[in-house]
Each structure stands twice: as C-alpha cells, then as structure tokens.
Amino acid sequence: MDTRSEMKLFHVGVFCLLFSLIGISAHAELFIFGQITGDTTGLCSDAFLMDVTQQNGQALFTFTNNCDNGGVLGRIFIRENDLITFNSIYDQSDGVSFSDPDYRNAMLPGGHDLGFTPHNTYAIEADPARPKNGLHYQDFVTVLFDMNDGFMFTDLIDSISGGTMGIGLHVQALPGGASASFTATAIPEPATLMLLGIGAFLVQRKRRDTAQ
C-alpha cells in the first residue's frame, strides 16, 4: 500500500472515530455516476460523487470531482420534476464558477434514450468557460433546491435511486482530450458509502479551509 493510500485510510479512520464519539447523524445519501458515452479508460470508479443532504425543507446537492485524471466537470443536467425547485448555487470551491440553470434546450449528450431531451431538462453549468471554471480534481459545487409541497426527502432519494429523476454530468478534458457523459445510476454498498462520504467531506473542508 502506498503512502497516499495509507494517509487516506488514516483520515477515514479518524473521522469514523470522531463521528462515533460525538454521535453526528445526518439525513444524506451519496451517489456515484456511471459513464454512458465515450470510451475513456483509467478513470476512478468513484470519479464523480453526488452527496444529497436534507436541510430543513430543502435539499443540498454537492457534486465533487474525486479523480486526479477525471477531466473537468462542466455541466450538470437535471430532468424537470415535481419534487424540487432550484434555489441557488449554495457553495463552490475557489476558482470554480457555476451559474444558475440554463433552460435553453439543455440536453445531456448521449442521454436522449434516458429521457434527457431539450423539452424536459435544464443544465447548471460552469460559466463562462466550462473546462476552465468547472470542477477539477478535489473541486466541488453545492446546489440548493427547495422541496416542493407534498414531497419528503425520502421521496427525492427514492426517485434518484430508481432513475425516475435523472441527473447527468458532462465532463470535458478527459485523457486524450475526450469528453463523456455520466448519469447517477450506481449506488455503492453502505460500507462504501460511508467511506466515500467521509472522503467527500474531507475534500470540502480542505477546500474551504484553504479559501479562508
């Protein structure tokens, strides 16, 4: 095991111990994304993460680039639905610049067969230059949504898990200059979720502390 892996496991162990001691609990789910277009190889299996956290009557979606050769995440596509309404860009890494949703014929490349069509999809994108101001390795962006009346946080998680609420990513500057699309279709087993969640938390805290 290399030094980097040992340090990562050490940090994970420390945070697991802290969480068990202070009893922190949160209504949150973590998703990973499966690649649907392109033939890029060498990407981490958890290259892109999405943490969905309940906050009163709202939901925070945090997207993270978790792979050092994972390209640049520049656009986030969400199929229109009855569960949530966009509120704001809540937080993002230093140097990242995402703007409000683009409703002008947004379509996830390669996502037509999965229901991502210009008539029912909107995109939250890095602006003005996606590869430059998108999510590079260890960058994150958090998007705040309001939960619509009549729906609960569990309804949101079930909808994402079941694929009825589609969420996709378009990534550029992959190895060889390629681009590819991804969708939130893969969910790790509970033990993996815990480790990935702590890893994403560490990345966000590191970025916030650096910016202060």
Predicted pLDDT at 145: 97
d(CA 200, CA 196) in angstroms, rounded, equals: 6
Over residues 53-102, the pLDDT tens digits come to 998 889 999 999 998 877 899 999 999 999 999 999 999 999 999 988 98
Return d(Cα 11, Cα 42) in angstroms, integer. 25
Residue spans of alpha helices (H) in 41-92: none
H or E element in which residue 196 lies? helix 190-211
Secondary structure class of 128 (helix, strand, coil): coil
Strand 84-92 relative to strand 58-65, pairing: unpaired
Q: Indicate yes or no: pTM above 0.85.
A: no
Q: DSSP 3-state assignment of 79?
A: strand
Joined together, the tokens standing for residue 75 give 């656009």
Q: Give the C-alpha separation, 1 to 99, whole Å.
A: 40
pLDDT digits over 24-65, tens only?
A: 445 788 999 988 987 766 678 788 999 999 988 899 999 999
Amino acid letter for position 128:
P
Cα(83)–Cα(69) distance, integer angstroms: 34
Distance set, CA 199 to CA 38, 190, 193 (Å): 27, 14, 10
Domains and CATH numbers, the chain: 27-37+45-211 (2.60.40)
